[in-house]
Amino acid sequence: MATVSRRAALGVLGVGAAAGVGFGTGILIASDSSASSPSPTQVSPVTVASWVAARGDQYFIGHRGSGDVYPEHSMEAYTAAVAGGAHCMELSVGMTSDGFLVCMHDPTYDRTTTGKGLLASQPSTVLRGIRLSAPQLGPAWALPPQPQVPLYEDVLRAFGGRLVLCVEAKNDAAYPAVMAAVEAHGLKDSVIAKIYYNSRRIAEAKAAGYPVFAYFGSAGDITDARIAALAQQLDARSDYLVLPTGASDAQVRLAVATGIPVWSFPAHRRFEATKSFSLGCHGVICSSLRYISTTEPTAVADTWASGAIAPGEMTRDPGSATYAPTWSHNELHLGVQGSQHFLTLGQFGPVAAARRSYTVEFQASWPTLPAALGDNMTLAFGHGDDAYYEHRSGLGNGYHAILRADGRLQLFRHQDGQQDGIQLGPSIQTPSPQAGSWMSFALKVTPTTITWSRTDGTNAAVSVRDSTVRGGYLHIGRSSTDGELAYRSLSIS
Give pLDDT tens digits for 210-230. 999 999 999 999 999 999 999
Residue type, 168: E
Task: Classify residue 55 as exposed, middle or buried by CB count within 10 Å of its CB (0-12, 13-18, 19+).
Answer: middle
- Average pLDDT (262-282) is 98
Q: Which CA distances in Å does 222 have to 170, 232, 256, 264, 313?
A: 20, 15, 14, 13, 30
For residue 77, the tally of other CB atoms under 10 A from its CB is 29
Positive or negative torsion for Cα 393, 370, 478, 431: negative
Q: Torsions phi, psi of 398, nearest 5?
A: 170, -155
Give pLDDT tens digits for 101-155. 999 999 999 999 999 999 999 999 999 999 999 999 999 999 999 999 999 999 9
Q: Which bin fits 316, alpha (ψ -120 to 50), beta or left (φ > 0)?
A: alpha
Cβ atoms of 241 and 261 closer than 8 Å: yes
Confidence of residue 459 (pLDDT cuts 50, 70, 90): confident
Cβ atoms of 324 and 343 closer than 8 Å: no
Distance of CA 156 to the CA centre of its chain: 24
Confidence of residue 178 (pLDDT cuts 50, 70, 90): very high
- Bridge partners (DSSP) of residue 412 are 400, 423
Given this model, what pLDDT does residue 13 score? 27
Distance of CA 490 to the CA centre of its chain: 21
Closest CA to 100 of 167, 156, 169, 21: 21
| The model's pTM | 0.90
Q: What residue ranges define each of the domains in the chain, with the CATH number in brackets?
A: 10-292 (3.20.20.190), 304-492 (2.60.120.560)
Q: What is the mean pLDDT of the chain?
A: 91
- Average pLDDT (174-199) is 98
Given this model, what pLDDT does residue 43 score? 61
CA torsion angle 61 67 73 79 (round to 10): -70
Given this model, what pLDDT does residue 458 score? 85
Confidence of residue 364 (pLDDT cuts 50, 70, 90): very high
- Bridge partners (DSSP) of residue 151 are 102
Confidence of residue 37 (pLDDT cuts 50, 70, 90): very low
